[in-house]
Amino acid sequence: MNTETLRGLAHLARLEFDPAHEGQMLTDLNKILDWVAQLEKVDTEGVQPLVHLSHEINVLRDDVASNSISHQDGLRNAPRKDSDYFRVPKVLD
């Protein structure tokens, strides 16, 4: 990885960074690429692809409806309210 490639990638990714930090960015990117090259050397023959991080499937809690706050508590901090409803600016004509 060189400076020209780094600038090209930054342009494609629509990234802007300070030219003073360009050297550090290049060093970090080269470290990442070296790490990926090390991973490519690992023998993965016979290893099943990992599809999910957990063997649990659809572990869900029961969906129980409950009021967490009262109607009055919900309206308490509203900047504008009309008895039981929030007042908002008109959106459509």
Using CA atoms, how far apart are residues 5 and 75, in angstroms rounded to an integer?
56
In words, the CATH class of domain 3-40 is mainly alpha
| Count of beta carbons in the 10 Å neighbourhood of residue 85 | 10
Q: What is the pLDDT of residues 45-68, one digit of tens each?
A: 998 888 877 777 777 888 888 878
Q: Is the pTM of this model over 0.85?
A: no
| Full pLDDT tens readout for the chain, 93 residues | 888 999 899 999 998 888 888 889 999 999 999 999 999 999 989 988 888 777 777 778 888 888 788 888 888 888 888 888 888 888 887
End-to-end CA distance of the chain: give it in Å, rounded: 57
Could you tell me the residue ranges of all domains in the chain? 3-40
Which of these, 48, 50, 32, lies nearest to 40 by C-alpha position?
32
